[in-house]
């Protein structure tokens, strides 16, 4: 137990709430009447997705996709693949990808390319957090929650070696 890092709060649950409310208002304005499919990237987006969709009081669908990007711990393996794909037909649909964090950008770039090939009507990205200092490939984030410093984040869905996803605040470990 002593080797486990101790998370420190970066954004409180109140700050997260305000951010999710703002994003929901922006998304509602753009997607009302468009029956979008929100595609959460597992596992990190599960809590954000759950809070976000409760604020979107119009018809939409929820999907999840699972990619392998990070191995255990903090370092990206650099190799990305779809481990668990989508169940619904997405050709011609309005897709909104829901991510927990854009770090190097490699994972989300791969996913956006993968989805674009399936010919959706539209494809946009909503990310709760963005760590631009670590970017390796350019990424357009259409709906951005919080810009974060170059620290390793945990909590509110984000993990360190599968731990700390259940913390209600966004924290960092050193």
Strand-strand pairing, 61-70 and 122-130: unpaired
User: Is residue 19 within the footprint of ligand IMP (CB under 6 A)?
Assistant: no
Name the residue whose CB lies closest to Mg ion.
44
Residue choice 105, 120, 145, 155 for contact with ligand IMP (CB under 6 A): 105
Q: How far apart are CA 162 and CA 154, in angstroms?
A: 10
Q: How far is the CB of 99 from Mg ion (least distance, A)?
A: 6
Task: Round the CA-based radius of gyration of the chain to a whole number and report it.
Answer: 16
Per-residue binder mask for ligand IMP (CB under 6 A), 43-62, x = binder? -x------------------
Specify whether the CB–CB gap between 91 and 72 falls below 8 A.
Answer: no
- What is the torsion angle, in degrees rounded to the nearest 10, for the CA atoms of residue 100, residue 106, residue 111 and residue 116? 130
Tokens read off for 1: 């137990």
**Nearer to ligand IMP among residue 36 and residue 155 (C-beta):** 155
Binding residues (CB under 6 A) for ligand IMP: these are 41, 44, 69-70, 76, 99-108, 152-153, 158-159
Give the residue numbers marked as catalytic: 103
């Amino acid at each position: 137990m002593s080797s486990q890092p101790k998370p420190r709060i970066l954004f409180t649950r109140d700050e997260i709430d305000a951010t999710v409310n703002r994003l929901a208002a922006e998304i509602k304005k753009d997607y009302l009447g468009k029956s979008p499919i929100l595609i959460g990237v597992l596992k990190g987006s599960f809590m954000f997705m759950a809070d976000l969709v409760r604020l979107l009081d119009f018809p939409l669908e929820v999907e999840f996709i699972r990619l392998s990007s990070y191995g255990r711990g903090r370092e990206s393996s650099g190799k990305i693949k779809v481990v668990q794909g989508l169940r619904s037909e997405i050709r011609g649909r309005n897709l909104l990808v829901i991510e927990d964090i854009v770090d190097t950008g490699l994972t989300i770039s791969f996913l956006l390319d993968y989805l674009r090939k399936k010919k959706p009507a539209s494809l946009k990205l909503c990310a709760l957090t963005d760590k631009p200092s670590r970017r390796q490939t350019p990424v357009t984030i259409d709906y951005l929650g919080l810009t974060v410093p170059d620290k390793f984040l945990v909590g509110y869905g984000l993990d360190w070696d599968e731990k700390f996803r259940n913390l209600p605040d966004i924290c960092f470990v050193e």
